[in-house]
Amino acid sequence: MSNITIYHNPACGTSRNVLGMIRNSGEEPTVIEYLKTPPDRDTLKRLISAMGVPVRAVLREKGTPYADLGLDDPQWTDEQLIDFMLQHPILINRPIVVTPLATRLCRPSELVLAILPQAQRGAFCKEDGEVVVNAEGQRA
């Protein structure tokens, strides 16, 4: 069992790149496809707290009902915003990665490198061809 967990959306390029970098460090993470298996309220609150960010920082706008629900309105409390994320998991931005070092929303995907316990084992390129890690395992 891995000590790394990724809240993953396989349809998201950023999420796939982060998963690739985790695997490139020699780890096989626990992969939670959060659209199929959404976190419960306590888990979501714990993740947000561990990231040390406001609840709004975890809301995803693009490709979600964010605008239709009027979530840009400051009237919504953190608890209400969490309610919306639980009702519509697509509103949870991704990927969220939990490692022994930290919990982080990894956008852009390179942010995961700072929280991985093991170094990259070789070169890694994003799906678009951008080199993130060189052949020596160093950040490009």
Report d(CA 82, CA 119) in Å as an integer.
Answer: 34
Instruction: Give the Cα separation of 59 and 61 in Å (integer).
Output: 6
Cα 100 from Cα 115, distance rounded (Å): 8
Per the annotation, the verdict on 125 as an active-site residue is no
CB atoms within 10 A of CB 65: 14
User: Residues 12, 71, 81, 82: which is the catalytic one?
Assistant: 12
Query: Could you list the active site residues?
Result: 12
